[in-house]
């Protein structure tokens, strides 16, 4: 077992660097796993990121781990991905006693890459809220400020990576659920192209391809190398993503050339986001311009009220599908209190969506996708803030039986920039952690790429990371999280030491 100093040093290394220690014989896979378990045990009482530990299985798997990330500890979001014999709740009281009987294809690929699975991370009920505060497991707290939200729905994984428990962790994204927590926790978060990563064997796709699987990472190179390891269709998938021309890892160190990037500070209704988010956008525009790119202010066309209505119809239908799926799988209906008030409200709304309503909404969204594709024919990416407000305080984005839509009403203003466009169109998109508020909270900026265009995004992200490294800020967050893990969470002054990025 490494000594305390080594444990702390490991917490500030990305997965690529940790794997190199094992390949070079400086540490064993068991050393990495034991050190990560120690960090989880130390930090989780403060952050509540890991809700189902798999420590014994991880220790047993470490000696035989093989692959590009051999021995690197990893966490799975407790949504979609399944491990046989392990509790699988999707953040819902309805599933509190559910145990998986099969293994997801993604889990097989993660193991094949050499990653050692330490456990499952927290998520809101069925991943439907931009916060991570399920009734079943309680709130996950942001390592940068434990009185703040991690956003959602991959909030447990984001807190685990930002605090240094693990160098990267699984997440998924139906409307921004990888990118919002990346912004709130100062991480890199890429949502891949539709069907880049398989959802089988349980699902072919989810909501016509809206859902995407990947990870939250400390570094761009980790995101690219991991996507190389897990990408590609599985037998029986309904459709594939466009094939990559070469490994994504090679793109990170490749100069992007002069890109033409559109940007907008405006929300779909024409208003502006929070001043801190606008400052992050201004900074990103200036940085990209200084790096030689052409920046053009332009709003994304086609975001009409009819498209907004179609999004709502599809979302309500998706919630009804989720609940009905679990009713069929569990063989019983939810008892009173099994579903949270917001889910009950969405389920009721979804039951009123007819098959024709859903298909009409799908047609409207496919027509919108063609508008976006035409727009991006003239640009390499579209840039906005990732979130429209800094991380909310714990408890703000929650519902009650008396106010079932409270979480929607409180959460929507924090994620009002249209990250969901990437899910509707299937395009790749990323949140890049370039900015901090005056009190040290992370603010990400969001790039929407062309369909199948991860290579361009990875090239740009690698250039931005080199020009504005964010590892030092994360290292400070890790150190502060470790230092305050025994302090009272309620302290209003808990903040990371990192200064504003200038």
The string of pLDDT tens digits covering residues 479-488 is 888 788 766 5
Q: What is the pLDDT of residues 231-269, one digit of tens each?
A: 999 999 999 999 999 999 999 999 999 999 999 999 999
Predicted structure pTM score: 0.95
Confidence of residue 502 (pLDDT cuts 50, 70, 90): very low
Catalytic residue numbers read 77, 153, 177
Amino acid 501: pLDDT:
29
d(CA 344, CA 481): 36
Q: What is the pLDDT of residues 273-289, one digit of tens each?
A: 999 999 999 999 999 99
Residue pair 168/135 in contact (Cβ under 8 Å)? The answer is no
What's the burial of 251, exposed, middle or buried (CB within 10 Å: 0-12/13-18/19+)? Answer: buried
DSSP assignments along 36-103, one per residue: HHHHHHHHHHHH--EEEE-HHHHHHHGGG--STTTT-EEEEESSS---TTSB--TT-GGGTT-B--S-
- Which residue would you say has higher pLDDT here, 476 or 293? 293
Output DSSP code: residue 147: T
Structure tokens at 418: 């249209």
Span 49-77, mean pLDDT?
98
d(CA 106, CA 326): 21
Amino acid 246: pLDDT:
97
Sheet with 116-121: list strands edge to edge: 50-53, 116-121, 73-77, 168-173, 212-217, 188-191, 429-436, 442-449, 381-385, 260-263, 294-297
Least confidently predicted of 155-164, 179-188, 202-211, 476-485: 476-485
Amino acid 399: pLDDT:
97
- Is the preceding peptide bond at 322 cis, omega within 30 degrees of 0? no
Structure tokens at 67: 């692959």
All structural domains of the chain: 4-483 (3.90.1300.10)
Amino acid 484: pLDDT:
80
Q: What is the pLDDT of residues 192-239, one digit of tens each?
A: 999 999 999 999 999 999 999 999 999 999 999 999 999 999 999 999
Span 122-132, mean pLDDT?
97
Q: For helices 29-47 and 155-162, what crossing angle results, to 10°? A: 120
pLDDT at 102 over 90: yes
Amino acid 486: pLDDT:
66
Q: What is the pLDDT of residues 358-417, one digit of tens each?
A: 999 999 999 999 999 999 999 999 999 999 999 999 999 999 999 999 999 999 999 999
Residue 341 has φ and ψ, to the nearest 5°, of -55, -40
Q: Which of 117, 120, 225, 223 is closest to 179 using CA atoms?
A: 223
Output DSSP code: residue 5: H
């Amino acid at each position: 077992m490494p000594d305390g100093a080594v444990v702390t040093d490991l917490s500030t290394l990305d997965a690529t660097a940790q794997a190199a220690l094992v390949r070079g014989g400086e540490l064993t896979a068991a050393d990495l796993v034991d050190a990560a378990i120690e960090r989880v045990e130390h930090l989780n009482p403060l952050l509540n990121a890991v809700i189902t530990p798999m420590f014994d299985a991880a220790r047993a798997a470490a000696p035989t781990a093989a692959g590009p990330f051999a021995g690197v500890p990893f966490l799975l979001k407790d949504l979609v991905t399944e491990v046989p014999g392990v509790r699988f709740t999707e953040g819902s009281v309805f599933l509190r006693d559910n145990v998986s009987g099969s293994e997801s294809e993604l889990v097989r690929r993660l193991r094949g890459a050499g990653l050692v699975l330490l456990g499952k991370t927290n998520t809101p009920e069925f991943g439907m809220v931009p916060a991570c505060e399920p009734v079943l497991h309680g709130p996950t707290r942001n390592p940068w400020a434990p009185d703040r939200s991690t956003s959602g729905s991959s909030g447990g994984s984001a807190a685990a990576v930002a605090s240094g428990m693990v160098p990267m962790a699984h997440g998924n994204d139906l409307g921004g659920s990888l990118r919002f927590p990346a912004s709130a926790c100062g991480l890199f978060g890429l949502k891949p192209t539709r069907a880049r990563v398989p959802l089988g064997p349980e699902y072919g796709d989810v909501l016509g391809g809206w859902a995407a699987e990947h990870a939250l990472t400390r570094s761009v190179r980790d995101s690219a190398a991991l996507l190389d390891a897990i990408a590609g269709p599985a037998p029986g998938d309904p459709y594939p993503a466009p094939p990559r021309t070469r490994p994504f890892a090679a793109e990170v160190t490749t100069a992007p050339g002069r890109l033409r990037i559109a940007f907008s500070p405006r929300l779909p209704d024409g208003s502006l986001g929070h001043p801190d988010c606008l400052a992050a956008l201004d900074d990103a525009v200036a940085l990209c311009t200084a790096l030689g790119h052409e920046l053009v202010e332009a709003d994304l066309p086609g975001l009409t009220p009819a498209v907004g209505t179609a999004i709502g119809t599809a979302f309500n239908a998706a919630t009804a599908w989720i609940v009905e799926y679990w009713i069929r799988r569990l063989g019983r209906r939810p008892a009173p209190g099994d579903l949270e008030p917001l889910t009950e409200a969405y389920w009721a709304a979804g039951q009123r969506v007819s098959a024709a309503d859903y298909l009409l909404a799908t047609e409207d969204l496919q027509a919108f996708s063609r508008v976006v594709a035409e727009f991006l024919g003239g640009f390499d990416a579209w840039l906005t803030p990732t979130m429209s407000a800094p991380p909310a305080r714990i408890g703000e984005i929650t519902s009650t039986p008396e106010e079932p839509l409270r979480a929607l009403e409180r959460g929507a203003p924090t994620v009002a920039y249209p990250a969901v466009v990437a899910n509707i169109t299937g395009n790749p998109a990323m949140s890049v952690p370039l900015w901090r508020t005056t009190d040290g909270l992370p603010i990400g900026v969001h790039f929407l790429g062309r369909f199948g265009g991860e290579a361009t995004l990875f090239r740009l992200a690698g250039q931005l990371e080199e020009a504005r490294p964010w590892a030092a800020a994360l290292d400070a967050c890790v150190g502060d999280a470790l230092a305050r893990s025994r302090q009272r969470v309620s302290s209003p002054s808990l903040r990371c030491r990192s200064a504003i990025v200038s």
